């Protein structure tokens, strides 16, 4: 069971890394464009509010973060602090939920 879980977590981390690579590039390119075009907060919100494309893009970005970060943190906690087992996994699940909540709040903040 452990071998299967580790293999699936590895696959999930690699897949989410590939998604993150794409999302970060798009996000940075958009930020650079917005800064160079001199767009202020009001003009950016004007473009994001009610825009399902940006909602979809940042939802995918958030999903990749929520999958990727806790799996990486899991290795750090195990190797640096020697923290393993159910208590570590419960902490990571809560951490992932927290990341998801904060991210969803930010996405909805610019969509609604």
Partner 1 sequence: MTTLQVRVWRGGPQGGDYRAYEVPRQASQSVLDVVTYIQRTLDPTLAYRFACRVGMCGSCAMTVNGVARWTCRTHVDQVCADGRLELAPLANLPVIRDLVADMREFFDKWARARGRFAGRRTRHDDFERVAPDSEPRRQVDAAIECIGCGVCYSSCDVVAWNPDYLGPAALNRAWTLQRDVRDAAQAERLRAVAGDAGCHACHTHLSCTERCPKHISPTAGIAGLKRAAAAAALKGEL
Binding site for partner 1 (CB under 8 A): 2-4, 6-11, 14, 75, 78-80, 84
Of 31 and 75, CB closest to partner 1? 75
**Closest to partner 1 by CB, 3 or 53:** 3
Q: Report the nearest approach of partner 1 to the CB of residue 3 (Å).
A: 4
End-to-end CA separation in angstroms for the chain = 43
> Which residues, 6 or more positions from 93, have their beta carbon under 8 angstroms from its beta carbon?
70
Name which of 9 and 60 has its Cβ closer to partner 1: 9
Least separation in angstroms between residue 77's CB and partner 1 is 11
For residue 19, how many other CB atoms are within 10 A of its CB?
A: 17
Contact 70, 96 (CB under 8 A): yes
In the complex, minimum distance from the CB of residue 99 to partner 1, in angstroms, rounded to a whole number: 22
Per this entry, what is the length of the chain? 112
């Amino acid at each position: 069971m452990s071998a299967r879980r580790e293999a699936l977590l590895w696959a999930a981390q690699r897949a989410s890394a590939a998604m993150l690579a794409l999302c970060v590039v798009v996000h940075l390119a958009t930020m650079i464009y917005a800064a160079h075009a001199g767009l202020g907060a009001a003009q950016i919100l004007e473009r994001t509010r009610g825009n399902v494309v940006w909602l979809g893009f940042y939802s995918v970005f958030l999903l990749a973060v929520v999958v990727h970060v806790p799996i990486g943190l899991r290795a750090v906690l195990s190797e640096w602090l020697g923290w393993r087992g159910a208590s570590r996994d419960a902490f990571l699940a809560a951490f992932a939920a927290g990341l998801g909540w904060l991210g969803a709040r930010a996405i909805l903040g610019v969509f609604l």
